Amino acid sequence: MADGATLNNPHPQSEATRGRGTARSGVEGATPDTVLASAPSTTSWSPSPAKGGGGFDVHAARAQFPILSRTVNGKPLVYLDSAASAQKPRAVIDALTAAMEGSYSNVHRGLHTLANETTEAFEQARETVARFLNAESPDQIVWTKGGTEAFNLVAAGLAQSLKPGDEIVTTQMEHHANIVPWSMLRDRLGIVLKWAPVLDDGSLDMAGLAALIGPRTKLVAVTHMSNVLGTVNDVRAVADLAHAAGALVLVDGCQGAVHCSPDVQALDCDFYVFTGHKLYGPTGIGGMYGKRAALEALPPYQGGGEMIATVTEDAVTYAGIPHRFEAGTPPILEAIGLGAALEWFMAFDRQAVAAHERALYDHVVARLSGLNWLRIIGEAPGKGAILTFTVEGAHAHDVAQILDRYGVAVRAGLHCAEPLSKRFGITSSARASFALYNTVEDADAFVDALIKAREFFV
């Protein structure tokens, strides 16, 4: 879709696809705004993300999350596990309820009113994601059921052209979702998987990364923000290195999309993967931005309805992007919920939100400084508000369970990043991750509970 184009036909029909039925906003009686009842409606495409107003009121934001008013073990809930999955604001809850109660049908396949309304809301959510990431066009956003499926989509597509000895470069700080698909290609195809090292402070060794990229490199897969270290990588610098060698760049934005205000055009990445449940949206929805040329070069990931142009007994032709990658009935309600989450999120000044989260992290670190029984994993400059740590003489699972007695929810284990744990010589760690709804009171409750927890292991 060209910049500035209206959404009168967000899913245009060709002669080949007309039989599936495609909704249009001009159809009489279609009211997608009733489906996205709690989210602002967008009627035209804008290539730039919405800019929030100045300042950030954490208490006003927090009040929009019903779950945060509950207690756990008789204590006020202190939720510090948002890097695993964020809580949901009322806007998302209401949007999902409205979609189920007021206007629901399958998308792209009917000409009746409910099908038109639901398709419009579904495609409007795609447009919202495109604005959020500053994509050139909404049709460069592919829906998947989460970040993991997006990685596998790219892996399946690349597998059609990779040859033994071709190389994929990744890093020691990656989530398993950005490791296992490439490892599977190594086992199946005989490609070479190379690992860029992580420095002692949790920074990516850029010189080490550059040394690994060569003429056989086909893809560089790197996280925007580490889910364990909080390290924010210079993705544009990585992209420049990779593109100079003729390689593609895939960015894991599952954390970065929440905390780094990504602009995919400025980052110059070929693929940017995101997931909904960390972005204050539902589970079961995520997706990927791709440059048009990169997406068009990928063969379809799965076969079935929706992803086709024609099917005969002798041949099948495929739909264009993004629908060629979206076989079957998509996660309709989940996409609508994610659209509502992003409209809600983009109303905030995101720089102010990031500053708030970082202030909470700094406050906690200041209070914990000088404790010789605590080890912080990852202290790279400019890192995000993720505190991963170990307690001397205690297993991380025990630490997390004791903190839960005080109503404090943290993560414990390997955090789906086993190579990184090995790099730092640990078998498990605990992780407190801060989100826009956390307060100084949350931060202090966490520190107080952690100091009390230590007493169990002395």
Query: Which of the residues are catalytic?
Result: 416
Distance CA 187, CA 204 (A): 26
How crowded is the C-beta side of 40, counted as CA atoms within 13 Å? 10
Give the closest residue to 43 by CA, choosing from 129, 127, 141, 103: 127
Three-point CA angle 215, 178, 168, nearest 5°: 10
Distance CA 437, CA 447 (A): 17
**Residue 25 DSSP symbol:** T
Answer yes or no: are the C-beta atoms of 25 and 41 closer than 8 Å: no
Give the closest residue to 416 by CA, choosing from 82, 84, 154: 84
- Close Cβ partners of 184 (under 8 Å, ≥ 6 residues apart): 155
Residue 271 dihedral angles phi and psi, to the nearest 5°? -140, 140
Answer yes or no: are the C-beta atoms of 292 and 142 closer than 8 Å: no
Q: CA torsion, points 221, 227, 232, 238, in degrees to nearest 10?
A: 0
Distance CA 245, CA 213 (A): 7
Residue with tokens 């609508």: 336
Q: Where are the alpha helices (DSSP H) in 190-251?
A: 206-212, 235-244
Q: Is the dihedral of CA 400, 403, 409, 410 positive or negative?
A: negative
Residue 97: burial class (beta carbons within 10 Å; 0-12, 13-18, 19+) = middle
Give the end-to-end CA distance of the chain in Å, rounded to a whole number.
Answer: 63
Answer yes or no: are the C-beta atoms of 266 and 133 closer than 8 Å: no
Cis bond before residue 322 (omega within 30° of 0) = yes
